[in-house]
Amino acid sequence: MTDAADEDALRRELAQYARMLVEMGLLEFKGGNLSARIGDDEMLVTRRSSAKGAFTDDDVVRTSISHLDDNANIASSTYEIHRAIYLQTDARAVIHAHPSQTVSLSLFLDELVPQDENGMLYLRPKVSVVAPPSLFGWNLVADQMAACLVSENVVVQKWHGTFAKGQDLAEAFHRTRAVEFMSAHLIRIAQLRQYFGEPTPLPAEMAEVIGGVPGRQLKRMV
């Protein structure tokens, strides 16, 4: 596939997932942003203030990862965080969303630790919460956010939203959904604790492969 064909396909994917974020309640009509690495030193990223609920592939900007170019001026307002993630991690795609239950928990917690098996599978060992030093100072903690994603799959910016990395947009989207599912469990556990006491913790020992039965070429867990 040529570079032009790659770019056209990625633009369509960005538009698709932008609309899906709004449709699934993970984003407001105009909020959030998405990006995907293309080539060795560039990314496609959503245009600043673009409406994700009515997003088209024309709302995508191609810009450098390693340095600021002219298109950086019209790229997403959290462009610096996307840059830092690509420079510090193995990410091929990044999705920034505003999942409401996860953001609510970030007001109270400095990390989110999965208590359910699916959360542990997709988000282990934890999801860090990073607080900017000032209101709307999102890019001031770009390097700190990226450092969390070296070993984690999702990081939360306190009071604001999530940044999920993936090898493609589908994986980043899945992880964005997964952290909101995990947050729902954490909130429900807190609500039910007064009636049922402490929940049964996850087993300390992990199976060698998904499903527990070796020999079927399933993903190794340990």
Dist. CA 59–CA 62, nearest whole Å: 10
Mean pLDDT (the chain) is 93
Instruction: Sort strands 154-157 and 127-130 into parallel, antiparallel or unpaired.
Output: parallel
Percent of the chain with pLDDT over 90: 75
Euclidean distance between the first and the last CA atom of the chain, given in angstroms as a whole number = 36
- Say yes or no to pLDDT of 99 above 50: yes
pLDDT digit string, tens, across residues 51-97: 888 888 789 999 999 998 888 887 889 999 999 999 999 999 999 99
Cβ neighbors of 127 (< 8 A, separation 6 or more) are 111, 112, 113, 114, 152, 153, 154, 155, 156, 179, 182
- Say yes or no to pLDDT of 211 above 50: yes
- Say yes or no to pLDDT of 222 above 70: no
Please state the rounded mean pLDDT for residues 120-128.
94
CATH, range 3-196: 3.40.225.10
pLDDT at 149: 98
Please state the rounded mean pLDDT for residues 150-161.
98
- Say yes or no to pLDDT of 194 above 90: yes
Position of tokens 């997003």? 55
Q: What is the pTM assigned to this prediction? A: 0.93
pLDDT at 1: 44
- Tell me which residue of 2, 211, 18, 25 sits closest to 96, measured CA to CA: 18
- Tell me which residue of 117, 85, 98 sits closest to 221, measured CA to CA: 117
pLDDT at 74: 79
DSSP code of residue 22 = H
pLDDT at 210: 81
DSSP H helical ranges for 72-161: 79-88, 100-106, 117-123, 142-148
